Structure 1
Amino acid sequence: MAVFPQDDLMQARLFHLHALSALHCGTGQSTGVVDLPIARARATQLPIVPGSSLRGVLRQSVSEHNESAARALFGPKSIADNAKSFAGALAVGDAHLLALPVRALAGIVCYVTAPFILSRYARDLERAGLTAPEPLSPAPANNTALVAADSVNRMENKLVLEDLDLDVSDNDIAKQWAEDIAQLIHPQDVMAQTDFRQRFAILPDNILGFLSETATELRTRISIDENTGTVKKGALWFEEHLPAETLLWGIYALTDSNEPDQPYARDALARALPASDTLLQIGGQAGVGRGLVRFLTQEGLA
């Protein structure tokens, strides 16, 4: 297999999504008691925001200011003939779960992740030209959480999350991961960085997998009959959401424009994308305040 220098083809860039409200990017079908579940990776069952959802939102945002750049980035909206077709210069990957806010007995909320997630996050950090903390070695033992020494979630030597009672172990690498993630999510806010570090925990993979399925948010929705003022028959359903403060990450990549008549260079297209810390609305229910996220990029890689 040939290996090409990144600068010669597509330049990998890192993005983060920081949910400011409950976020529902669904599958459109029910698999159980939840009528509208969130999208999940098939192999891991961890929550994701599909790249197609983010791509559509980014196209709308760019189109509002620069329709020509939007066409170069995302390709033509419609194709009259093959001669006028071309691929967009932007490839957007799925956004993967990085840290999930979970109810804690002490400290109100704890941001949890796991070695499985961090190892893949470290790989993408390196692809984007950033340095990841040291790998966790050893991984947290069964029923043990790794936290920073000043964690506000610990009760003596215990961490109580939802209905789980975990042992606590101080860990310098966990502290470093918390600091690095906090700097990427809150680059200009020292207080927010400190708060995140004090509420951060690394859990065993199996416990994080359990919480990713049981600690999401379920909301009951109804539809009102305009004539009677009561709930329409059969119009009650349950929606699953990622809770506010969830963190996700992903990779996107750019090339020069593929459109023959618009020879945009890659750097020019990068400047046309929303700036880091732009607010976007992803998923449904915008009218009731769902899906508001901060879109964060490492602009130094542009």
Structure 2
Amino acid sequence: MLSRLYHLHTLSALHCGTGQSVGVVDLPIARARATHLPIVPGSSLRGVLRQEIGALDADLERALFGPRTIKDNASSFAGALAVGDAHLLVLPVRALAGILCYATSPFILRRYARDLESAGLKAPAIPRPGNAQHALVATGSVNLLENTLVLEDLDLAAQRNGLTQEWATTIAALVHPDDAAGQGDFSARFAILPDDILGYLSETATELRTRISIDQDSGTVKKGALWFEEHLPAESVLWGLYALSDSNEPNQPRTAEALATAVRKQLPLGSGALLQLGGQAGVGRGLVRLLTQETGA
């Protein structure tokens, strides 16, 4: 079985929801139960990939995802592709200096480093902010006002840090593989925040958008048709793992490597395939770049 790393880079606000309301938010985004950090369910991504690949190569779709309809047990088999959930890696947060800061935390980086290493990639050592009101930024950060990082309504004492720069360079190379300017911009706005601060921002720095429904006859808002949707902001970065096994399709054996090669021929996953995830496609929401690791364990 081939295990590979993938990243999602949101180009517009993304809503992958749970269908359940929480408090004043009618349609919240999906979050991990234990950490309450945002996720994109692997099933959402797998469904979109099936649609995209199926439109290009029906035989490859069948091998990766299994048959669309099952007539009997003899015609059924499991697909070769397994897609894990995408976890929040970098949250874009409004900054007083530099407009935007790409924020993460030691807890997130520890989990990310584990998956980097399982995929055969090297992870830098993880630095820790000195205290709960302290942040680490890349050496060329544009987000500092003297020695202070101001994010939303939070003032954090900040320090330029070499290991933080290494992490910024590592992530930027994976998310912007063919864009030197994009890598430089990402690194200049990268920061490692205390876990508690990042957790707080992951709940308060997401986007809430108000939606209404118009009555077609009167041209006014339908009674009760007002709701609030939560979105991950554009420029968020998430990561996950996917796995490919040899094809289970009877009489058509294909190795995992052969399937991976076939997928790369159909979708530009190395440089970023443009996909639409979640709802509100008609209003431009959910545009993401899917990038996958080309080599590894």
TM-score normalised to structure 1 length:
0.94
1:187 aligns with 2:173: no
Structure 1 outlier segments of 4+, above 6 Å: none
Matched AA of 2:44: S
Deviation, 1:140, is 4.1
Please report how far the alpha carbon of residue 244 of structure 1 lies from its aligned counterpart in structure 2 after TM superposition: 0.3
CA offset digits 1:94-122 (Å, max 9, x no partner): 00000000000111000000000000100
Specify the alignment match of 1:86 in structure 2: 77
Residue 216 of structure 1: aligned partner: 206
2:257 partner SS: helix
Q: Does 1:157 align with 2:147?
A: yes
Contact 1:66 1:272 in 2 (8 A): no
Question: Quick check: 1:297 aligned with 2:287?
Answer: no
Q: Which consecutive residues of structure 1, in runs of 5 or more, have no partner in the other structure? A: 1-9
What is aligned with 2:19? Answer: 28
Aligned residue identity for 1:118: L
Residue 254 (structure 1) aligned to one of 244, 249, 252: 244
Report the number of matched residues.
Answer: 292
Cα deviation 1:135-159 (Å, max 9, x = unaligned): 32x4442110100222111100100
Matched, 1:283 2:278: yes
- Which of the numbers 238, 255, 264 marks the counterpart of 1:265? 255
- Does residue 203 in structure 1 map to residue 193 in structure 2? yes
Residue type matched to 1:265 in 2?
Answer: T
More displaced 10-residue stretch of structure 1: 126-135 or 98-107: 126-135
Q: Which digits, 9 at most, give the CA deviation of each residue in 1:51-85, with x for residues without a partner?
A: 00000000011101111111110111122222221
- Work out whether residues 211 and 229 of structure 2, in 8 Å CA contact, stay in contact via their aligned partners in 1: yes
The TM-score, its normalising length taken from structure 2, stands at 0.96
The whole-number CA distance in structure 2 between the counterparts of 1:49 and 1:272 is 25
Answer yes or no: is the 8 Å Cα contact 1:140–1:202 preserved in 2.
no
| Pair 1:172 & 2:162 matched | yes
Same amino acid, percent of matched pairs:
70
SS in 2 for 1:15: strand
Paired residues of 2:121 and 2:296 also in contact (CA < 8 A): no
Match for residue 74 of structure 1 among 48, 51, 65: 65
Instruction: Please state how far the C-alpha of 1:262 moved relative to its aligned partner.
Output: 1.9
CA RMSD of aligned residues (A): 1.1
After TM superposition, the structure 1 = structure 2 runs for residues 117-156 of structure 1, keeping only pairs within 5 Å, are 117-136=108-127, 138-156=128-146
Q: Which runs of 5+ in 2 are unaligned?
A: none
1:21-72 superposed Cα distances (whole Å, 9 cap, x missing partner): 0000000110110000000000000000000000000001110111111111
In 1, Cα distance between equivalents of 2:223 and 2:16: 26
